[in-house]
């Protein structure tokens, strides 16, 4: 998921979808915007790793509030993790040089980014690149998330 922009109702729908589908780990590619976005995310049944985006206001307070809930982690502006047997990079995406460097480095299986609000699933060699779009839904008119099948190494954009 990405670009929730303080949209509690749609974020609550995304959390319900992830819980219903049994998602093992949720990634948030930035732009929570404010600390109260912790509330709908605390209902997740799986861990969440997130990164900051360009619209995240008081980053210190957001990180503090999220860290008070077990399973919610804000990793700064970039996260590298392993989940479901995949090496994953997570960033917001407003730094194109960093994005292109990560896409070309060859040591990731999945690169997740946000910022553009436009859903995208594509491959560059063996790298799966996913932009889940925007949960916010006001910029494009569609509220979307992505679900990645780590066994098949494919992703699907899901409209909320």
3-state secondary structure of 88: strand
Residue range 27-41, pLDDT digits in tens:
999 999 999 999 999
CATH 3.60.21.10 given to domain 8-159:
yes
Beta strands 144-149; 154-159: pairing state? antiparallel
DSSP string, 12-27: HHHHHHHHHHT-S-EE
Residue range 44-56, pLDDT digits in tens:
999 999 999 999 9
Residue 14 has pLDDT above 90, yes or no: yes
Phi (first) and psi of residue 149, to 5 degrees: -90, 105
What pTM was estimated for this model as a whole?
0.96
Residue 22 has pLDDT above 90, yes or no: yes
Record the tokens describing residue 150, joined without a space.
């780590």
3-state secondary structure of 105: coil
Q: Where are the beta strands (DSSP E) in the chain?
A: 26-28, 48-50, 72-74, 78-83, 86-91, 110-112, 120-124, 127-131, 144-149, 154-159
Residue 102 has pLDDT above 90, yes or no: no
The DSSP H or E segment spanning 38 is helix 38-41
User: Which of the four pLDDT bands, split at 50, 70 and 90, describes residue 100?
Assistant: confident
Q: What residue spans define the domains of the chain?
A: 8-159
- Per-residue confidence (pLDDT) for residue 104, from 0 to 100: 86
């Amino acid at each position: 998921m990405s670009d929730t922009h303080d949209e509690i109702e749609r974020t609550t729908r995304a959390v319900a979808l992830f819980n219903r589908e049994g998602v093992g780990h949720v990634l948030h590619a930035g732009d929570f915007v404010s600390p109260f976005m912790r509330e709908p995310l605390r209902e997740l049944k799986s861990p969440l790793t997130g990164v900051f985006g360009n619209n995240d206001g008081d980053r210190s307070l957001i990180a503090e509030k999220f860290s008070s809930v077990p399973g919610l982690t804000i990793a700064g502006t970039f996260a590298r993790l392993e989940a479901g047997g995949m090496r994953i990079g997570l960033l917001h995406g407003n730094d194109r040089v960093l994005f292109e460097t990560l896409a070309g480095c060859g040591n990731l299986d999945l690169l997740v980014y946000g910022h553009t609000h436009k859903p995208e699933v594509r491959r560059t060699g063996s790298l799966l690149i996913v932009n889940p779009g925007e949960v916010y839904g006001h910029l494009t008119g569609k509220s979307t998330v992505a679900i990645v099948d780590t066994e098949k190494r494919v992703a699907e954009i899901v409209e909320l």
